[in-house]
Amino acid sequence: MDAITHCKIHPAVGIARVGNSPDEFFIGPELPYPTPAPAGGYKDGAGRLKRQAARFRLFGYNAAGDVVQELTADDAQITWTAHLANRKAAWYNFELAMDIPEAKPCARRNARVSGPDRARLVIDPGSRSIAGKGQSGPAFQFDTGQFFGKPIYLGELRTDEAGHLLVLGGRGASAPAEPGHTAYTFANNDGWHDDVADGPVSAQVTIGGQDVPVEPAWVVTAPPNYAPDIVTFQTMYDLIVDSFQNSWLPPVPMPSFTDHVLPILQQLSDAQWVNF
């Protein structure tokens, strides 16, 4: 077997989703297109939404950049670390994409909070680390961050039976710091918080007593996907490929109807059943 010189965490960006079921969850899709519904469906016995966990795996690469094998807890000593935070209340208003000129006048959220007090708008419990198989528990929860002194739970880490990392998000909580602050718009409600978050995922890997460098990943905890069988007609992957083809990613020499055209037509057709 080729020598493993470095590792990468896949997926590079993992998507977890919040849900109000206190204990039940399912593993999110690990293929480009919708997968069968999880056992028991998307809700628990009380009708509450299960959380979608993002599962991360480690792959070992040789010096040429080729995959040698997937690494599990049976192959290496692996310690996972993730850091979730929610900085929305201290960021800019949700109005326009921040990378276009029209967004320059965009105001800060909670503009009346200034100086050192703005740090109280940031929900940041710090990082958590986990190792081994089938691990879970209070020590791995992101539950020490606060919003104006109010503790906010952002999620937790677990491992499955092979030692893969599972990141679970919050429980779909959104509320004001103080009673009486009524929500008045779809977004940008001053004094309010939610429990979505994002942050880096890293791992420390030791094989045969030697530490191996690891390329990190990122995790995003998002709202529930209420139409899991529908693929939007323009995916995030499409946007990334389009952006990179203007720089270092070479375009496809000859587009394939099956691979490049038919999926878009199918996705447009499926979109008639949902309300964007």
pLDDT at 47: 97
| pTM metric for this prediction | 0.92
Distance set, CA 157 to CA 20, 74, 160, 198, 224 (Å) = 17, 20, 10, 13, 19
| Residue 11, token pair as written in the block | 């997926």
| Confidence class for position 96, pLDDT limits 50, 70, 90 | confident
Number of domains in the chain: 2
pLDDT (tens digit per residue) in 153-202: 999 999 999 999 999 999 999 999 988 888 988 888 999 999 999 999 99
Domain boundary among 208, 229, 250: 229
206 in the same domain as 269: no
120 in the same domain as 237: no
224 in the same domain as 104: yes
- DSSP code for 226: S
Is 1 part of any domain? no
- DSSP code for 257: I
33 in the same domain as 154: yes
244 in the same domain as 159: no
pLDDT at 91: 93
Domain span holding position 201: 6-229
pLDDT at 94: 86
Is 198 part of any domain? yes
| Confidence class for position 250, pLDDT limits 50, 70, 90 | confident
| Confidence class for position 101, pLDDT limits 50, 70, 90 | confident
82 in the same domain as 27: yes
DSSP strand pairing (51-61 vs 25-27): parallel
Is 38 part of any domain? yes
Q: What gap in Å lies between CA 242 and CA 238, rounded to an integer?
A: 6
pLDDT at 187: 85
Taking a C-beta distance cutoff of 8 angstroms, is the pair 130, 141 a contact?
A: no
| Residue 266, token pair as written in the block | 């199918």
Average pLDDT over residues 62-79: 97
| Confidence class for position 1, pLDDT limits 50, 70, 90 | low
241 in the same domain as 129: no
pLDDT (tens digit per residue) in 6-56: 999 999 999 999 999 999 999 999 987 778 899 999 999 999 999 999 999
| Confidence class for position 276, pLDDT limits 50, 70, 90 | low
| Residue 129, token pair as written in the block | 């680390």
175 in the same domain as 79: yes
Average pLDDT over residues 124-137: 98
Rg of the chain, C-alpha, whole Å: 21
| Confidence class for position 237, pLDDT limits 50, 70, 90 | confident
181 in the same domain as 62: yes
pLDDT at 199: 99
Mean pLDDT computed over every residue of the chain? 93
